[in-house]
Amino acid sequence: MNDSSKSRFYGAKTIVFWQFEECPIPIPDDIISDEVEANISSAIRDMGYYGPVTMRAYGDIYKLQRECCGFLIFYATSETTQDKILVDLLGQAVFWPRDSPINLMLIVGDISRHAGLLNAIDTLVAHGNFNIILSQPQNVASGQPPYGVDKWLWEDLAVNGKVKLCEDLAGEDLAGEYLVREDLAREDLAGEDLAVDGKVIPWI
């Protein structure tokens, strides 16, 4: 990693939020969840983030491909998984020490129509203490990412433990497009309150 603007996050904690139904463990079929957990951790370290890593998996546990070791598992229906991730993402952010950096990694499917997640990503990045990493499957990993967010390809991350930046996929026939608030500068979002389920979550 050569991005000096991210250097303050290198030793920070990383929390991973994995939507396992939309980002299933890819082939080969003999890969197990322990290897996926190890591959994600390896890729995070290879990109320069050497702090502790906590992994959280979200979805219908009855649709989980195989035993999932190394992850805290949170049940949610297919329709509500991204909402659950959003609430937990903001919960981590609100109660995190104000002046301490943290890495928040989202392994999710298509979020191009999820205004809540997009707004949260914008606001967290603008706050300054939150480094957002977005990993998605190849079939949805196109389009302009939210401002200040690195995008990693899920398939390489899960199987090979390597990071392939989604920007390297330019020109390939991929689906998905982001609703990016390009008209808002970084400073315009700092300190902005967020509303989740009708409740306003203020920045402290």
Query: What DSSP letter does each residue of 63-113 carry, written as one string?
Result: G-SS--TTSEEEE--TTTHHHHHHHHHHHHHHHS-TT--EEEEEE-S--TT
Q: What pLDDT score does 51 carry?
A: 96
pTM of the model: 0.79
Q: What pLDDT score does 32 carry?
A: 59
Q: What pLDDT score does 3 carry?
A: 64
Q: What pLDDT score does 186 carry?
A: 36
As a whole number of angstroms, the distance between CA 155 and CA 83 comes to: 23
Q: What pLDDT score does 71 carry?
A: 83
Q: What pLDDT score does 37 carry?
A: 86
Q: What pLDDT score does 81 carry?
A: 96
In our burial notation (b when 16+ CB lie closer than 10 A, e otherwise), range 101-117 reads bbbbbbbbbbbbebebb
In our burial notation (b when 16+ CB lie closer than 10 A, e otherwise), range 136-168 reads bbbebbbbebbbbbbbbbbbbbbbebebbebee
Per-block mean pLDDT, blocks of 10 residues, the chain (204 long):
77 96 76 77 93 94 68 91 97 92 96 94 93 93 75 88 64 39 38 50 45
As a whole number of angstroms, the distance between CA 114 and CA 132 comes to: 16
**In one letter, which amino acid is 55?**
M
Q: What pLDDT score does 187 carry?
A: 39
Phi, psi of 16 (to 5 degrees): -105, 130
Tokens of 140: 């949805």
As a whole number of angstroms, the distance between CA 134 and CA 141 comes to: 9
Alpha helices in the chain (DSSP H): 33-46, 81-95, 115-127, 154-160, 186-189
